[in-house]
Chains A and B, each alone.
Chain A
């Protein structure tokens, strides 16, 4: 996959994060370039085992770089031990110290930086207050709810005034209802944060709500990066297409027709030449049991139903055949078509609902 660099830091060459993280572990190699200006929130998005967490640990200094570089606000950090880096980390399961109160957890960082006990407690109290947790200052972590623990973890990471804030799956440990609230709060805190924030997630919604820019990692390398809107509209790998819920194909365009590498032809709106991607949403697909006679749709394929599952109030149909694709139907439509695994159907997509862009 070609590498599209949508953001380069200009005019602020010394400020922010400039990293080329290379970690070689024999069977696995991480090679990721990351740049961000102060105030940026970058999300590393990718499937399990893609190397997101390794990248985060390398930024924190918990994993040694095999090669590459790491500069933060102009200072070289490659050889700096984690305790001397101006980096704060919110761990996936928070890792709040179980023997300390919320107040002392948050005060731990300032204390290590040389503040007296009283000073660090004052700083911690201020942070807890800002997080709306003042009344839980004396509570041990096991008495906090998931959402409260998450906020204590964020307060603890911010209390050291880091220049780089790292968040590892910050919402993964929360249940769906808490997640909504905490996500909104976290978004507010990240918006206020004046330095660079990098968060790791496998949840596209978290990434899109929280981050200004997404960096998608697969198998240790960046496969795509850009704004959430750009990535949602122009996915470049099957993984991303699946995340944003699009059917994605690669082929050669000649005007309005795109011939896929696997054979089928798709008619599109855009007039392009050369290597392109074609994407369309599953809801744009219409299914027929018999070949439609009044075929206004130029895009018509004969497919077999490979699977059915409920998807919100829709039925998601997985189709194989000439063109593997996903189609969304209403429950009623699915029942009328008498869909079942192995059923043969005709699938059509209007050209106006497809979207093609250069590869």
Chain B
């Protein structure tokens, strides 16, 4: 939060008269028509978080957080979000490379399709996954009859649902980094005898590592908060498919204090993620 000279500007606002003139003259202050909505927007974003802290059942918090349900949900969430990120990395980085470094007809269209899950309502994604990978799904029926693999309503199903929603974040992030990276390093590697894959592995991959890391964190955070696709595709079974967001939603119906406690845990995780990324995003000015 470095960009706003809020205290300065607010002080000017209180003083009245000369303020407007100074804003116009110097161009350094924030014009009123921008300042007011900006402050309202800031309050709008921060107020719910403050409310969460104000109403937190601090006294019963330790017992809430040590309950089996919470631990199960947290463990499952961390595991499935990490697994979904791993799947996204293994499949998404090569996909990003193909989108960024090759030319073929329909590439733009394919790129648009890849980004579709970004804007698709997650519940729709869950329904689509059921139709594709459900026991009677287009592919799922073969998985079931040939390999005896059933994805819906399993922990693997949670990972699949989260990966479906989270992978586009990684692909877009990595593709952007690849486009910004100089492709001539790959050419240099080729002239030294490296195949395109070796050039990718030994030159490109290390060069775009920061972009991959940022994309992975984005994907992980998105997977951690995933609700709609998970509950649709994997259901809500404690210990098996009930992740933190599902547990929060369920708890809110009959035990609001537990819901707040769970939410605080997710808030803490989110803040930890932001702190991890601060070099990348919070210092850009």
CA distance A66 to B195 in the complex (A): 23
B184 on the interface (CB 8 Å rule)?
Answer: yes
Q: B195 and A83: CB pair below 8 A?
A: yes
B189 on the interface (CB 8 Å rule)?
Answer: yes
B194 on the interface (CB 8 Å rule)?
Answer: yes
Q: B206 and A82: CB pair below 8 A?
A: no
A277 on the interface (CB 8 Å rule)?
Answer: no
The answer to whether residues A83 and B193 also contact, given A91-B188, A95-B185, A97-B185 and a CB cut-off of 8 A, is: yes
A109 on the interface (CB 8 Å rule)?
Answer: yes
| Residues of chain A with a CB closer than 8 A to B191's CB | 60-62, 82-83, 85, 87-89, 157
B207 on the interface (CB 8 Å rule)?
Answer: yes
| Residues of chain B with a CB closer than 8 A to A157's CB | 191-192
What is the chain A residue whose CB lies nearest that of B192? A109
Q: B187 and A62: CB pair below 8 A?
A: yes
Q: B193 and A160: CB pair below 8 A?
A: yes
Q: How extensive is the interface on chain B, given as a class? A: 10 to 19
A25 on the interface (CB 8 Å rule)?
Answer: no
| Residues of chain B with a CB closer than 8 A to A95's CB | 182, 184-185, 187-188
| Residues of chain B with a CB closer than 8 A to A85's CB | 191
B24 on the interface (CB 8 Å rule)?
Answer: no
Partner of A113, one of B184, B189, B190, B193: B193
The answer to whether residues A82 and B203 also contact, given A95-B184, A97-B185, A112-B198 and a CB cut-off of 8 A, is: no
List residues 56-100 of chain A with CB under 8 A from any CB of chain B.
60-62, 81-85, 87-89, 91, 95, 97-99
A156 on the interface (CB 8 Å rule)?
Answer: yes
Instruction: State how many angstroms separate the Cβ of A91 from the closest Cβ of chain B.
Output: 6
CA distance A333 to B184 in the complex (A): 52
> Which of B182, B189, B207 is packed against the most chain A CB atoms within 10 Å?
B189
Partner of A83, one of B184, B185, B190, B207: B190
B202 on the interface (CB 8 Å rule)?
Answer: yes
Q: Which 8 A-B pairs have CB atoms at the shortest separation, nearest pair first?
A: A112-B193, A109-B192, A95-B188, A89-B191, A99-B206, A82-B190, A112-B194, A83-B190
Q: List 10 A-B contacts (CB under 8 A).
A: A81-B190, A82-B187, A83-B190, A89-B191, A91-B184, A95-B185, A108-B189, A108-B202, A112-B193, A160-B193
